[in-house]
Every structure is written in C-alpha cells, then in structure tokens.
Amino acid sequence: MGVQLRADEIFAMSDRWVMHTYGRIKLAFVRGEGSRLFDVEGRSFLDFVSGLAVTSLGHGHPKLKQAIVEAAESLLHTSNYFYILPQAQLAERLAEVTGFDRVFFANSGAEANEAAIKLARRYQVKSGRAGRYEVISAINSFHGRTLATVTATGQPKYHAGFEPLPAGFRYVPLNDLEALRAAITDTTAAVLLEPVQGEGGIHPCTPEYLQGVRALCDQHGLLLILDEVQTGVGRTGTFLAAEQYGVKADICTLAKGLGGGVPIGAMLATEEAAKGFEPGSHASTFGGNFLATRAALAVLDVLFNDGVLERVPQAAQRLWKGLKGLAERHPKVLGEVRGLGLMLGVELKVPGSRFLNGCLEKGLLVNVIGDKVLRLLPPLTVSDEEIDEALRLLELVCEECASECQDSAS
C-alpha cells in the first residue's frame, strides 16, 4: 500500500478526488480481525455494522482468505462466454440450501433486484400476458440505486432529482393485505418485498401478511419476489428469512453477506419463473466470476459446516434480551426493539447523531437510520463476550443521554 498516510491526509485526498455521494464518518480503517476494526491511528472498534451486513464472517476469516488467495493464484476472470466451475458449484449449493432451481449471478443487490424485475416482466410476456409489467412494492422499502430499483424503492427521498422515473411501479403499506389486494390490476406482474425492511427502519413482515401475499400472487398469476439482499445468507437465523415464514417465493435475491466482503449478487428463481430468460435476455460481465464465486463457496462452507448458522439464533436472543433490558432501564433514550436474528433495530428518543457519536467515542461501530433508529448488524461469528461488551458500551451511552435529558429538563 506504500507509505501510510495520516487520517487527515486520507480524509483530504478522498474529499478532493472521490465524488461526493456519501456523508462519511471521520474514520479510516486499515485492518480488521474478527469482529474488530482498527483505524489508521491504531484505535480498535467493535464492529456492529459489518459493512452494512456484508462481512458476515467478520474480518480476516482464514477460510475466506484462503479462497481469495487460491483464486488470485489460479484464475480471477474469464467471461460468461465460457463455463466457470466455481460458478456452477455455487449455483448448485445455493439451489440445495434454498430449494430454488436456477441462479443468475451479478455483482450487487441492486443488480440482483434489477435482474428480478426484468425476469418478472419477461416471464409475463413469454407466458402470453404482455400487458403485465407493473411491480408492487412496499412503502419505506429499499431495493437499490439503479434507476429501476430506486424507483421500486418506496421512499420518495431516493427518487428526488432522478425524474422522470421508469413507469410500472406502485407502492402499498407494509403488512396491509387489503391495500395490496386493492392495488392489483390487470397490469400487475409481480410483488417485490423485503421480509424485513432494512433501510426503512427494521420493520419485519408479519407471517400472516407474507403468507397472504403468497396466496394473492397465486390467485392472480403474479410472481412473488423476495428481496433477501440484507436478510439472506443467515442474517436472520435461517439461510433465508422466508424459511421462518413458511413462504416460498418465485424469485429471490441475495448479495451483501454472500461473498463475506467480496462483491457478489445472486438472483434465484424457480424453474417456471426462470423460463422468462433465454440466452441474450440478460447478462453481467463480472457476474459469477472465479474470485466472487470461490469466496461465496467459502462463506457457505463456514456457515453450514462450522456451526455458524446454527448459532445465530442463540446470539440473536442474547443481543435481543440485552437490548430489551436497556430499553426498559432507559425509557427516555430507547424505545421499541424489533427485527429478526442479528438484524435488529431500536427506536431512538434522542437525536440519532448524538447516540452514534457516543458509540464511536467508546469504540463501538453502529448505524443509525434516518436519525431515529439504531441498527445493529454484527458479524454472524460474533461471540457472546463481544455481544456483552457492545451492550455495556450501549449502556454507557444511554446513561450519558439520559443525564443530558435530565439536565435539559431542569
């Protein structure tokens, strides 16, 4: 990497040359180990963000490192004009653990969702229903940053400035089956939902709702697309969150934790839904390359063979119980605790920026959504001791915030 720069030099270089699309926190990390990150100044931080649910095995996992090294020493990329062994192996493994029949590989969640939208529309065309093109998604959803997926996202703030948006999208409230029923028309092609809304504030679907959506899709000949970009790959305690709902989608999308930090996205489909695509229908230059698929195979190996996935519910219960206790002890600071598995959110009754900065000062990395919801996404490999440490640090921040509230009231 050459000469190590100071933090202020890194900040200045980035601010000068990198396009200003992120509101960045003044930290520059240079090394990671397990659930910890170390910045350029040598400070240690307990990582309960995981790169936004990406570093599913934490940092520097030996099996993931070995897979990346082996790819670098043999072959990184050819083209999808040719057969790629680890791609085929990964597709087979994903089919085995999910029950889907076909996989399309991309590089991100947005690309996987874009592919899903295209597949749903083209499936309807090839099924003799060319007038069906509209996709219904939920208010407060988040599905990506391409023009189509940002339009599918049910949050107007992400639409601003990109008008005119593509036609063919409408939005309904989450967990309101009657609203969805009323929104279905002769032009509806598919319903696109997150089992747990991530960027929308950690709002899970209710089982009754998701099961009802499946029934409505069957009744009207619609495809059900489940966006498991954030909830998938074990994040919620099962490989797919939909497993806990007893619901099988027609199309499912994955990304984030699938590569453990190496970019990869995947769109999974039933054999029937996959009929919408044929050679030339869709493609991705980098999708499913040697590096990404070898990394993902290593992630799945660790999840299923090293006991990581089966431990997630236990770790989640420990964190959930601790957060509920914090909320009970500090009702002026914290509100409702919600989520699924190791994807948890807590309503904040104090400014989110204040709470976030308090955590950073104590060496805990967390994420705050919309300045009002604390989002916790620790690595799936997080230990009980690290969960307890995070809870102790959160307690200290809560005590500070509660004291400030008392001072301002007096």
Nearest residue to 191 (alpha-carbon basis) of 164, 222, 219 = 222
Answer yes or no: are the C-beta atoms of 400 and 327 closer than 8 Å.
Answer: no
Which are the catalytic amino acids?
142, 227, 256
Separation between Cα atoms, residue 168 and residue 96, nearest integer Å? 33
Three-point CA angle 189, 244, 308, nearest 5°? 120
Q: Hey, what domains does the chain have and what are their CATH numbers?
A: 62-305 (3.40.640.10), 308-343+360-410 (3.90.1150.10)
Extended beta strands in 64-115, E state: 102-106
Nearest residue to 244 (alpha-carbon basis) of 113, 127, 340 = 340
Q: Which tens digits make up the pLDDT trace of 170-224? A: 999 999 999 999 999 999 999 999 999 999 999 999 999 999 999 999 999 999 9
- Grouping H, G, I as helix, E, B as strand and the rest as coil, residue 70 is helix
Nearest residue to 201 (alpha-carbon basis) of 31, 70, 370, 10 = 370
Answer yes or no: are the C-beta atoms of 152 and 169 closer than 8 Å.
Answer: yes
Whole-Å CA distances, 362 to 41, 104, 128, 167, 256: 15, 42, 60, 47, 27
For the whole model, what pTM was predicted? Answer: 0.96
Q: Which tens digits make up the pLDDT trace of 33-67? A: 999 999 999 999 999 999 999 999 999 999 999 99
Regions in the chain scoring below 70 on pLDDT: 1-3, 407-410
Supply the pLDDT for residue 118.
98
Total count of residues recorded for the chain:
410
CA dihedral of residues 385, 386, 392, 395 (deg, nearest 10): -140
Residue 409 CB-density burial (10 A; 0-12 exposed, 13-18 middle, 19+ buried) = exposed
Separation between Cα atoms, residue 325 and residue 148, nearest integer Å? 41
β-bridge pairing 169-172 and 343-348: unpaired
Supply the pLDDT for residue 404.
86
Which amino acid would we find at residue 156? P
> Residue 253 corresponds to which tokens in the numbers above?
């999308």
81 Cα distance to chain centroid: 30
